[in-house]
């Protein structure tokens, strides 16, 4: 994908405000994560509350977003995290809230091709074509990360890491907030950074 630096910078900073017409989400860090049901590529329904007792990572995704490319195609950063934490028994759900016909709204076969290309390693890929779950959580960007602990409490909401950049070279020197949250949960201590500013492309509601 050919994308100008100016466009990349605009997309990088897109996390500053909700899209026009989008209402604030009801999800709040420190409160029970709102339950929802979404369907995977095969049409099977998945309900968040079914995973109670496990840590769940929710990742908003858009395969066409350059910042998603940074963390998938160009670096393998998110697939690495997916593999690491699903192997440890955690649940990682990639959620696409693109409206029908909008950027990133792929048919199941095209999504599967993308998964193979980027070595996607999450638990499931869920479609949210009405945007209801994205609005419920206040998802603003792709990626936008939410982490739910074993008790069903939302403990983190924000960016994948601490450097809002389109440059894959910045990943190594950024604080990875997924790793940091998991380290805090594993140690039984409060999550030190429970909120951060997400960055990426706006969710295409």
- Confidence bin at 55 (pLDDT 50/70/90): very high
Judge whether residue 191 has pLDDT over 70: yes
- The candidate with the shortest Cα–Cα distance to 74, out of 171, 200, 176, is 171
Give per-residue pLDDT as tens, 120-158: 999 999 999 999 999 999 999 999 999 999 999 999 999
- The mean per-residue pLDDT over the stretch 12-39 comes to 67
Judge whether residue 19 has pLDDT over 60: no
- Is 96:105 a contact under the CB 8 Å cutoff? yes
d(CA 90, CA 198): 22
Q: Which two tokens stand for residue 123?
A: 């638990």
| pTM: predicted TM-score of the whole model, two decimal places | 0.88
Q: Which two tokens stand for residue 196?
A: 């951060």
Q: Which two tokens stand for residue 74?
A: 């160009």
- Is 171:80 a contact under the CB 8 Å cutoff? no
Give per-residue pLDDT as tens, 35-44: 999 999 999 9
In order of their start, the domains of the chain are 32-202 (3.40.30.10)
Q: Which two tokens stand for residue 63?
A: 């395969």
- The mean per-residue pLDDT over the stretch 51-73 comes to 98
Q: Which two tokens stand for residue 173?
A: 């020197």
* Averaged confidence pLDDT in the chain: 90
Q: For residue 25, what pLDDT is reported? A: 52
d(CA 178, CA 190): 14
- Is 33:148 a contact under the CB 8 Å cutoff? yes
């Amino acid at each position: 994908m050919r994308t100008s630096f100016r466009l990349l910078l605009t997309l990088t900073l897109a996390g500053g405000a909700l899209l026009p017409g989008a209402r604030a989400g009801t999800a709040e860090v420190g409160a029970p994560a709102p339950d929802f049901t979404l369907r995977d590529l095969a049409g099977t329904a998945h309900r968040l509350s079914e995973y109670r007792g496990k840590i769940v990572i929710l990742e908003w995704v858009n395969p066409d977003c350059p910042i998603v490319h940074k963390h998938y195609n160009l670096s393998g950063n998110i697939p690495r995290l997916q593999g690491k934490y699903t192997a440890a028994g955690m649940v990682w759900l990639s959620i696409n809230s693109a409206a029908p016909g909008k950027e990133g709204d792929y048919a199941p076969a095209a999504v599967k091709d993308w998964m193979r290309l980027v070595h996607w390693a999450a638990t499931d890929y869920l479609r949210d074509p009405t945007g209801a779950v994205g609005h419920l959580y206040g998802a603003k960007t792709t990626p936008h990360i939410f982490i739910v602990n074993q008790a069903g409490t939302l403990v983190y909401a924000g960016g994948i890491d601490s450097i809002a950049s389109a440059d894959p070279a910045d990943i190594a020197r950024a604080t990875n907030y997924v790793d940091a949250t998991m380290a805090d949960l594993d140690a039984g201590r409060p999550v030190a950074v429970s909120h951060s500013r997400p960055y990426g492309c706006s969710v295409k509601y």
